[in-house]
Amino acid sequence: MDDRNKKNDYENKLIHEKSPYLLQHAHNPVDWYPWGEEAFEKAKRENKPVLVSIGYSTCHWCHVMERESFEDEETAQLLNDRFVSIKVDREERPDIDSIYMKVCQGLTGQGGWPLNVFLTPDQKPFYAGTYFPKEGRYNLPGFKDAIMQLYQQYRDNPERITGIGDKITASLQERMNAAGGELKEEALHKAFQQMQNSFDTIYGGFGQSPKFPSPHMLMFLLRYYRKYENELALTMVTRTLDAMANGGIYDHIGYGFSRYAVDQEWLVPHFEKMLYDNAMLVLTYTEAYQVTKNERFKKIACDVLNYVERDMKGAEGGFYSAEDADSEGVEGKFYVWSEQEVLDILGDELGALYNRTFDISSKGNFEGKNIPNLIHTNISKMKESFDGTEEDFEDKLEEARRKLFDVREERIHPHKDDKILTSWNMLMIAAFAKAGKVFNLPSYLTTAQQSYEFIEENLVVDGRLMARFREGEVKFKAYHDDYSYGLWALNELYEATYEPKFLLKAKKLADEMHHLFWDETSGGFYLYGHDADELIARPKDVHDGALPSGNSVAALQLLRLSKMTGEMKYDEWTNQMFTAFSGDVTSYSSGHAYFLMSKLFTVSSPKEVVIVGEPDDENRVKMERFLQQSFLPELTSIGTKDPELLKEAAPFASEFKKSGQTSIYVCENFSCSLPATNVEQLIKEL
């Protein structure tokens, strides 16, 4: 009997779940439970400690730990006899993940996944770690030894374990209520200086390795450049975006970015592709195009969106979550090539051209195989030495790419996590809307609108936004990130289409967000709503991780919404957030880059532009195109295709009357200029 069939002899309580991650563990010999009352009641009844193991379906080291420990019958028996074991999909339950990740970071100084936390039956943590090998190695304790020792401590000295849990929980709650104060402009310069200090001047990006794209830091730098005319800020952005587009972190054959690179020069990716990374990078490349008009940035943004539509979009209209790094149990196998394989597919002449261009050799650049990349390729010299025009050269490489793509499609694909998460979908909707607006590509706007309609039709239950959809099942009350990213999506949809219905939806969503998540005592938004199940703490995050925090996004998007609608309460909420989070943001400014974008907005003389005139007027179209293609982050624009709806959504804007020709009013500090009637006048006003 092979291991796969042996594994399927078992079945635990995860078998009834919809999460791809939980289902991966449904046939482990470990008696897994989903997070819930049943598991904790069992722990109390049997006086057992609880193992909570948190991960996600495309997590490489989660797979490794499963193979080594959770599929091992001896280890499983130790767990089943001594613990109640709970599996959590961090992408479905970011609230649980946030709380216990803070515990792990506090206890060990590091975090990551898989995250394994040991709790008392009342959910209080007393020990935490990430990956444990089955037997001790890499200076890491073995998992079997760890669970035996922890169980013995729990059994022999329960008062001490309870005391540790109480102390950790109290510390956690205290840290979530840090003191506030005034958020000063100096924090912007401090963030820039910290980014400059960690910037890799050779290969772009921040730090050495592993190297993450950090798109929110790049978005901050673009705004810092706009406000302070700091050329180094722009250089940091363009060098990083070019280096990533050259590297193996970018899929040169099928498009899309991997989550991070394990080396300094972006060559070797951790091959998994996440929806949120690609959404954030599309937004960043699009904004960089607005600033530089570099056509390569436009091409990268569009190619990534084309990858998402091709591989990550469900038939219903929602976007899937991720693609795994592994196929056939081997990391990166789907993506790598041998030199001879490329020659066999493309023929000697085209194959030799492709191999020279994309660093493919007999020696290989990754475990004897090759990751296509342009890191050390001098494209200009390649074009000069090519027997033909520059256009011929590009056509040949595109022909090669298509042929390799077709062959690659026949390989066994990595696992795809096909659950649809509201928050990540909202980010991708924002990306499609912004790219559609900037590049004047209506098909992207159609995709954005259809995907938003999918969320409205499938992820709202009794008027309450929900967090996850899969195979017809909707589950988990939406978290704050779902709402704040939704606000971002709606703001982008409105500025891309000037359909007032999106402003009305944004106002409704913002008001619901405030009702469900707002901290009435200190300001800011909690991660889970007052109508959700209570945990040992109520996280209120502002620090940016792989994604900008919900509070960071809410602060900026509420400011934009305030300017577009004239509703000052949204502005006031952000000002309260400045006060609430100033201590955290000032102490580690570069770790709060997206939050500081809202501070940059307020100090950059924000302006509103009101467009009045017939939608099809040629002059109006020209002025709208100028506004949409320009990088003007301090500006919000208000136009309409439905005057009656605009009157409801933004009453102040409806006071501007048509005058026989398109007019654009530029407003600042509640005062509006005389109308501009052509692009030249508009440029002067701005």
Sorting pLDDT into bands at 50, 70 and 90, what band is 5? very low
Secondary structure letter of residue 16 according to DSSP: G
For residues 123-133, give the mean pLDDT: 94
**Over the stretch 514-553, which tens digit does the pLDDT of each residue have?**
999 999 999 999 999 999 999 999 999 999 999 999 999 9
pLDDT(6) > 60: no
Return the pLDDT at 281: 99
Q: What is the C-alpha to C-alpha distance for residues 599 and 252, in angstroms, rounded to an integer?
A: 37
SS3 666: strand
**In the sheet where 322-323 sits, what is the strand order?**
273-274, 322-323, 416-417
The residue type of 579 is T
Contact 509, 489 (CB under 8 A): no
Contact 14, 32 (CB under 8 A): yes
pLDDT(179) > 80: no
Q: What is the C-alpha to C-alpha distance for residues 196 and 199, in angstroms, rounded to an integer?
A: 5
**Over the stretch 396-449, which tens digit does the pLDDT of each residue have?**
999 999 999 999 999 999 999 999 999 999 999 999 999 999 999 999 999 999
Fold of 3-175: Glutaredoxin (3.40.30)
Output the furthest CA–CA distance in the chain (Å, rounded).
Answer: 86
In order, the DSSP letters of 68-137 are: IIIT-HHHHHHHHHH-EEEEEETTT-HHHHHHHHHHHHHHHS---SSEEEEE-TTS-EEEEES---SS-B
**Over the stretch 629-677, which tens digit does the pLDDT of each residue have?**
999 999 998 887 677 777 787 787 767 766 678 888 888 887 888 888 8
Sorting pLDDT into bands at 50, 70 and 90, what band is 140? confident
pLDDT(178) > 80: no
Which of these CATH numbers, 3.40.30.10, 3.40.50.740, 3.30.70.20, 1.20.1250.20, describes 607-685? 3.40.30.10
> Exposed/middle/buried for 410, CB within 10 Å: 0-12, 13-18, 19+?
exposed
The pLDDT > 90 percentage for the chain reads: 84
Crossing angle for the helix pair 500-517 and 550-565, to the nearest 10 degrees = 130
Positions of CATH 1.50.10.10 in the chain:
186-327+417-603
If residue 54 lies in a helix (H) or strand (E), which one and from where to where? strand 50-55
Return the pLDDT at 2: 40
What does the mean pLDDT of the chain come to?
94
Cβ neighbour number for residue 385 with a 10 Å cutoff: 10
Contact 268, 248 (CB under 8 A): yes
**Over the stretch 250-275, which tens digit does the pLDDT of each residue have?**
999 999 999 999 999 999 999 999 99
**Over the stretch 272-329, which tens digit does the pLDDT of each residue have?**
999 999 999 999 999 999 999 999 999 999 999 999 999 999 998 999 999 999 999 8
Positions of CATH 3.40.30.10 in the chain:
3-175, 607-685
First to last CA, the chain: 73
Q: CATH assignment of 186-327+417-603? A: 1.50.10.10
Question: How would you classify residue 181: left for phi > 0, otherwise alpha for psi between -120 and 50, otherwise beta?
Answer: left
